[in-house]
Chains A and B, each alone.
Chain A
Amino acid sequence: MNTFLSRLNTLFAFSISVVAAVTFACFLTTHFLDYTQDVEIEVKKAIVKNMEEFYVGEKHDLGHLRFSLKANMTPVFNWNCKELFLYLMAEYETPRNKINQVVLWDKIINRGENAVLDLKKVHAKYYFFDDGSELRGKNITLSLHWNVIPNAGYLWRVKGRQDLGYTLPDSYAGSRV
């Protein structure tokens, strides 16, 4: 009984040590890799409206975008990358806020799934409300980012190599010129 328990103890301790070592090796072998990729973004249609934002109770500018997105994420995956959380971000400046960042669309790609993105003229997933009514005529920068979720290690946030500058319409949709 004694030797059985002590053997079990040794086995358990050894297993834990091995798992810890392999986890650390996983982390170390992938920590210094370059996770950037080329990205192609196109805006197909954009309009600006003004309506009441849910919860907020105020009328704010709302942007409607249709965009196309092309990127190949396959080279980014490795044995330590279990998921990529991709998000398309619009950045712009207004008189009220120096920095505005709004996530318009996101996608989860797990290791093993098809990692080639080829979206054509899709709608944004999330509402593009401004913190005010300052979207008309604004220059926005659209960029694709991804969060590398490892099996164990650092949570990198990577920006695609290319981004797109776009100018939103000067007037509200449906209003007279």
Chain B
Amino acid sequence: NIKMEMFDDFKRMNKRQVYYQVLNFGMIIASALMIWKGMMVATGSESPIVVVLSGSMEPAFYRGDLLFLGNDRSDPIRAGEIVVFKIEGRDIPIVHRVIKVHETHEGKIKFLTKGDNNEVDDRGLYKPGQLWVEKHHVVGRARGFVPYVGMVTIIMNDYPKLKAFNSVILNLLILLIFVLRQ
């Protein structure tokens, strides 16, 4: 009986309300996108927030921690900074510390990285033949830190089945919100 009533309500929802809900939903998505793109511009980084994926920077950062990145081009990269960089041919960004910097008189910089928790520097990780990391490899430099918040991403990555399950749930939830709100 209750179920039937719910569907009656749904049918009674007039067009205007449906449009309003759709617009509302669109606004939320658009705002989220604006915030993300705005952060990209403000920080100069293509990915202003990253989740720490490995334990190579322990005990400072653990898997699931969140890093806020900056990439101020006018502030050159110096030893001791924590940089997030990508190696050509690989998707996964690496979060490690700069331990060596060489900058020519013309301003060309090359640097060497090492994870705090690793014994040796990253030359074994770089592309064969690559000895240094350069500016164009850098996604950003770690400026701020919040623990644990990125765990959701880790869980979704570790259990891909959960990812699919998650999106179905998400869609159902959105549909439910639609119905309940009116």
| A interface residues (Cβ-Cβ under 8 A, vs B) | 23, 55-56, 82-83, 85, 87, 89, 96-103, 106, 108, 110, 126, 131, 145, 147, 149-155, 157
CB <8 Å contact, A85 and B103: no
Cα–Cα distance between A110 and B60 once the two chains are bound (Å): 9
Cα–Cα distance between A155 and B142 once the two chains are bound (Å): 7
Cα–Cα distance between A98 and B110 once the two chains are bound (Å): 12
Cα–Cα distance between A14 and B100 once the two chains are bound (Å): 46
A98 partner residues in chain B, CB cutoff 8 A: 103-105
Interface size, B (range): 20 to 34
CB <8 Å contact, A145 and B80: yes
CB <8 Å contact, A96 and B59: no
A108 partner residues in chain B, CB cutoff 8 A: 59-60, 116
| B interface residues (Cβ-Cβ under 8 A, vs A) | 59-61, 78-82, 97, 99-105, 116, 123, 131, 142-147
Dominant SS at the A interface? strand
CB <8 Å contact, A99 and B102: yes
Cα–Cα distance between A147 and B116 once the two chains are bound (Å): 12
CB <8 Å contact, A151 and B116: no
Most buried by B among A97, A101, A150: A101
Cα–Cα distance between A100 and B111 once the two chains are bound (Å): 10
CB <8 Å contact, B145 and A153: yes
A101 partner residues in chain B, CB cutoff 8 A: 78-79, 100-102
CB <8 Å contact, B103 and A126: no
Minimum CB distance partner of A57 in chain B: B131
Cα–Cα distance between A131 and B104 once the two chains are bound (Å): 11
CB <8 Å contact, A131 and B102: yes
CB <8 Å contact, B60 and A85: yes
Cα–Cα distance between A99 and B100 once the two chains are bound (Å): 10
